[in-house]
Amino acid sequence: MAGGSPPRRIILTGFSGTGKTTVARALARRLGWHWVDTDDLVVAHDGRYIHQIFQESGEEYFRGLERMALRQATSPEGWVVATGGGAVLRPENRRLLAERGLVVCLEASPETIHQRLRAEQDRNPAVRPLLQAEDPLARIRELKAFRQPYYRLCDWTVDTDGRTADEVAAEVQRVWETQAAALWSRRGRPAWFESEPAASEQESPYADHGEPAAVVRTPAAEYPVYVGWGILESLGHRLKAAGLAGAAWVVSDASVAARYGGRVRAVLERAGFQTDLYAVPPGDASKSLETAAALFDWLAARRAERRDAVVALGGGMVTDLGGFVAATYLRGLPLVHVPTSLLGMVDAAIGGKVAVNHREAKNLIGAFYQPWLVLCDVALLATLSPRELTSGWAEAIKHALILDPDLLDLLEREAEAVARLDRDLATRVIARSAALKAAVVSEDEREAGRRTILNYGHTVGHALEAATGYEALLHGEAVAVGMAAVGEIGVRLGVTPPALRERQDALLRRFGLPLRAPGVDPERVLAAMALDKKVSGKAIRWVLLEEAGRPVIRDDVPPELAADVVRLVTAAG
């Protein structure tokens, strides 16, 4: 099965109420394909509704009809197939689906599923067995937890909370058009063909979450960093294990809140936390004192107490802003980071640097304030735009260049697979990158020494962001250009071997990251650099590379050399 491209079939699975039928219809329309629901085929063949078949003939009889329907639906190409929520429970069905097309799981929180099923039954009085239970929501949670290990075997997962059918269909279409061949080529993995998922996966919703990828230990705090695929449901459990109770005030941006806000609140409320959510506009412009003041007002109106937690749900902007608010309201509330961007997972959420921007420079007003825990669910990255995902790899590449030649080798060997978010490789790279950041922070919490090396590429990168009003470039894009700039500076000073500079730039290109920022005013960049936090005694402290894994801090870079390189990387053409 390895190699080549998959047949022109997309098979949608997932729990009842995740929107398989409506998404199949919307996706087929976008692709110009046909669509079919296997439950409709069962009903057409038998003449009874699904609940009647279960009641009158039993589940085994239904599963036999379902098997026949799956074979029929997955025979022609150019079709989107919506399957029943329990189809993946049978190993013979999993084998069939894996052979016939790309298998995508649609995900939603139990609360969303319950709400959707209620609304559907109000429109159509056909009996929904799940809603006949004494406690329907509890039954949905129980059954979904049992099936989750099977759903995790799919090629891709798309979250449907807070999204329209067309938005979900667009995401599935993007995966089909950009990653189907790569996903198909890794089909050598045995999971789909095993008779059952590992027993440990069925014992507990948290059994596969394991130990933290890293533990940050500083004089101010000690906390775990969890990295895994599909671990968001463990958030409430992790907060309680960390000793938190009371309320959990979620800070997010509007885009992330629409996608994950309801799901995160539901997870927290199931664990006994009172919750509410404040969403700010997306973009670095929200990382301001004015936005922080609005958040202070929000917390005050809810009578937030010192035992309450602030949960920063989002990318680097949200981790910085939420952290700044947590650090300063009531002289400090417990902080929990749930990064939803790659940048947040490998960098911004780890280390306790929280800040807001000033009109003169990025992160000019802030503090060192460590969180109680960090939870990185790598599966959340699947919903990022290609540009956002690409941007985040800059920080992982930076960590490899300055700290870990073995990670650098891995990124070079598997660049394409990592960049397209291969589940195993991406999780491995993110966990390792997080561990590297955690180790440096543990050694130097307040950037008095070794932690300065983490600013590799950031002197020019932050200045590029400030010079463009934090709008034209994403952070990772600016850092990539910054790394190209310091690579050039290092070569001109005789510090960085030209071969290492070329190796760095080639890897950045393979990940789709820029080496230049044409059209940016170099004088504005130079003015922003003068306000950089790394300036000491009016001299900029530059992080350069002597070799992979061996950074050096220099404060003797001639200003005219730095200016010449800034003009080089911002030159048009």
Known catalytic residues are: 331, 353, 395, 437, 447, 451, 455, 458, 462, 475
DSSP bridge pairs for 223: 216
| Cβ-contact 34, 127 below 8 angstroms | no
Q: What is the DSSP letter of 538?
A: T
The pairing of strands 539-540 and 535-536 is antiparallel
Residues 314, 327: Cα–Cα separation, whole Å: 17
Neighbouring C-alpha atoms within 13 Å toward the C-beta of 467: 25
| Distance (Å) of CA 18 to CA 144, 398, 562 | 11, 38, 54
- Region label for 537, one of left (φ > 0), alpha (ψ between -120 and 50) or beta (otherwise): left
Cα distances (angstroms) measured from residue 432 to each of 227, 372, 408: 9, 20, 11
From residue 282, alpha-carbon distances to 118, 312, 355 in Å are 32, 14, 16
Cβ–Cβ < 8 Å for 395, 480: no
**C-alpha of 128 from chain center:** 34
Q: Which two tokens stand for residue 214?
A: 């890293």
What's 42-100 look like in SS3?
HHHHHCCCHHHHHHHHCHHHHHHHHHHHHHHHCCCCCEEEECCCCHHHCHHHHHHHHHH
How many Cβ atoms sit within 10 Å of the Cβ of residue 132? 10
Contact assessment for residue 456 and residue 402, using Cβ atoms and an 8 Å cutoff? yes
DSSP string, 195-240: SS--HHHHH-TTTTS-S-SEEEE-SS-EEEEEEESS-GGGHHHHHH
Q: How far apart are CA 23 and CA 100, in angstroms?
A: 19
Token duo for residue 195? 């008779």
CB 183 within 8 A of CB 136: no
Name the DSSP class of 248.
E
Phi-psi region of 108 (alpha: psi -120 to 50; beta: other; left: phi over 0): beta
